[in-house]
């Protein structure tokens, strides 16, 4: 059993208890293998079966067609910020939609590599809103190599309800939401996610890329080259075996216990509503950061009128076993990350704690 603490960390974050238990059960020896997943060769048959099963799970869950590659890469999302333009620009420029800390960072890395244009920037309102499709369509450069966006801004709690409607293929950082609901993969040249928010532990990044995007890679060092990485099924060198194994267990849970991402989405909507209902019904005691039309189902940043009670809130929450609720310094207050693996009961506890806290201090 876990120690009954609800972990609202933004990442690395809560994992499904079932996946952790399975890993624990089989840590000393994989069934029928007699050696730990931590000990076996990445070229061995048991590991080949693990990485193939992980890929199959991902393809099934996200309905990924044959003309997309699934890669398991290292270096986190941050390396993708640079690898994407290195591989995909092809002498052109790319359009960036800046909706928060992570897209801003992605663009500043891309700028070191090639030409980029910012087509929308929400910085003036401290990233609490999103562009409309009209704004985007008017701003997109039709000759752009790709349009880059961050579907869920983990720090600001701003989430695109649907993909931006533009005529240029999308490249999307879905790090803090991948697997939270179904997506229409055909709209993407690439969608990627570091695992440690909603897909597994730190150490592996899932990169889903259309074949014609993979084919764009110019001559680059092997480990930075999608064409080479994909040709070798992410095993150009030793991959992060244990992290990939955990992604397999997390996706097993999503498929078999939860019943798929559509079901997950229903649960995620219900969980987020519990918190937003408390915030909206608090008569201004709690203030959400993001505008209502784009607030995130994964990360819920909120604060109080002043920060005078912030410390008390965190201390009293910890006494109720509600942990890792401090907000990011750029937004202040609190942030409840309620990824797929956060049980409904955890969110219910937090919602009732917030109501009680308001009654006591409001």
Ligand X SMILES: *Cc1c(COP(=O)(O)O)cnc(C)c1O
> Is residue 126 within 8 Å of 96, Cβ to Cβ?
no
Which one among 9, 154, 296, 324 touches ligand X, defined by CB under 6 A?
154
Pull the structure tokens for residue 293: 């039309």
CB under 8 A, 24+ apart: contacts of 310-317: 310/334, 312/361, 313/357, 316/353, 316/357, 317/350, 317/353, 317/357
- DSSP class of 4: S
Residue 173 lies near ligand X (rule: CB under 6 A): yes
Q: Is 319 a catalytic residue?
A: no
What is the three-class DSSP state of 300?
A: strand
Which span sits near ligand X by CB under 6 A: 75-83, 232-240, 261-269, 315-323? Answer: 75-83
Provide, rounded to whole angstroms, the least separation between the CB of residue 105 and ligand X. 7
Nearer to ligand X, 77 or 347 (CB): 77
Give the binding-site size for ligand X (rule: CB under 6 A): 12
Q: How far is CA 297 from the centre of its chain?
A: 12
Q: Please pick, from the candidates 78, 235, 349, 358, the single residue that binds ligand X as defined by CB under 6 A.
A: 78
Residue 277 makes CB contacts below 8 A (sequence gap 6+) with 351
> Could you say whether residue 96 binds ligand X (CB under 6 A)?
no
Q: Is 105 a catalytic residue?
A: no
Q: Which is nearer to ligand X, 22 or 289 (CB)?
A: 289
Specify whether 45 is catalytic.
Answer: no
**CB–CB of 197/154 below 8 Å?**
yes
Under the binding rule (CB under 6 A), the answer on residue 194 touching ligand X is yes
**In this chain, which residue has its C-beta nearest to ligand X?**
76
Q: What's the rounded Cα separation, in Å, for the pair 288 and 350?
A: 15
Which window, 57-65, 172-180, 244-252, 258-266, contacts ligand X (CB under 6 A)? 172-180
| Positive or negative: CA dihedral 272, 200, 259, 190 | positive
Of 6, 11, 47, 225, which lies in the binding site for ligand X, with binding defined by CB under 6 A? 11
For ligand X, the binding residues in 14-53 under the rule CB under 6 A are none
Cβ distance to ligand X smaller for residue 197 or 210: 197
Rank residues 22 and 335 by Cβ distance to ligand X and give the closer one: 335
Interface with ligand X, residue 77, by CB under 6 A: yes
The reply to whether 104 sits near ligand X by the rule CB under 6 A is no
Q: Which is nearer to ligand X, 151 or 230 (CB)?
A: 151
Among the listed residues 71, 332, 26, 12, the one whose alpha carbon sits nearest the alpha carbon of residue 202: 12
Rounded-to-integer distance, Cα 357 and Cα 348, Å: 14
150 interacts with ligand X by CB under 6 A: yes
Residue 276's closest CA among 264, 291, 288?
288
Range in contact with ligand X (rule: CB under 6 A) among 17-25, 111-119, 173-181, 283-291: 173-181
Residue closest to 61 by CA, chosen among 191, 192, 266, 251: 251
70 interacts with ligand X by CB under 6 A: no
CB 176 within 8 A of CB 10: yes
Nearer to ligand X, 201 or 346 (CB): 201
Give the residue numbers marked as catalytic. Answer: 102, 173, 197
Which residues are at the interface with ligand X (CB under 6 A)?
Answer: 11, 76-78, 102, 150, 154, 173, 175-176, 194, 197
């Amino acid at each position: 059993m876990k120690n009954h603490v609800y972990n609202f960390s933004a990442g690395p974050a809560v994992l499904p208890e079932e996946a952790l238990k399975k890993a624990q059960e089989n840590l000393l020896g994989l069934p029928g293998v007699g050696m730990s997943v931590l000990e076996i060769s990445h070229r061995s048959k048991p590991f080949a079966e693990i990485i193939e099963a992980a890929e199959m799970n991902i393809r099934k869950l996200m309905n990924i067609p044959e003309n997309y590659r699934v890669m398991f890469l290292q270096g986190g999302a941050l390396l993708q910020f640079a690898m994407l333009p290195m591989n995909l620009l092809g002498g052109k420029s790319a359009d960036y939609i800046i909706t928060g800390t992570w897209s801003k960072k992605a663009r500043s890395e891309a700028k070191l590599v090639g030409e980029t244009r910012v087509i929308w920037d929400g910085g003036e309102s401290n990233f609490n809103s999103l562009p409309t499709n009209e704004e985007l369509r008017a701003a997109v450069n039709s000759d752009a190599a790709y349009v880059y966006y961050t579907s869920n801004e983990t720090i600001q709690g701003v989430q695109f309800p649907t993909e931006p409607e533009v005529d240029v293929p999308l490249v999307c950082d879905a790090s803090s939401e991948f697997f939270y609901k179904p997506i229409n993969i055909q709209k993407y040249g690439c969608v990627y996610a570091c695992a440690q928010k909603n897909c597994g532990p730190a150490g592996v990044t899932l990169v889903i890329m259309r074949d014609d995007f993979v084919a764009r890679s110019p001559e680059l060092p092997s480990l930075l080259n999608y064409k080479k990485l994909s040709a070798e099924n992410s095993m150009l060198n030793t991959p992060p075996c244990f992290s990939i194994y955990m992604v397999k267990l997390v996706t097993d849970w999503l498929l078999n216990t939860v019943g798929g991402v559509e079901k997950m989405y229903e649960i995620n909507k219900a969980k987020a509503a519990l918190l937003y209902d408390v915030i909206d019904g608090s008569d201004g005691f709690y203030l959400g950061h993001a505008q209502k039309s784009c607030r995130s189902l994964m990360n819920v940043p909120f604060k109080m009128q002043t920060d005078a009670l912030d410390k008390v809130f965190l201390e009293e929450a910890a006494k109720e076993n509600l942990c890792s609720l401090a907000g990011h310094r750029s937004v202040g207050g609190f942030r409840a990350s309620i990824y797929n693996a956060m049980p409904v009961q955890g969110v219910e506890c937090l919602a009732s704690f917030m109501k009680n806290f308001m009654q006591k201090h409001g």
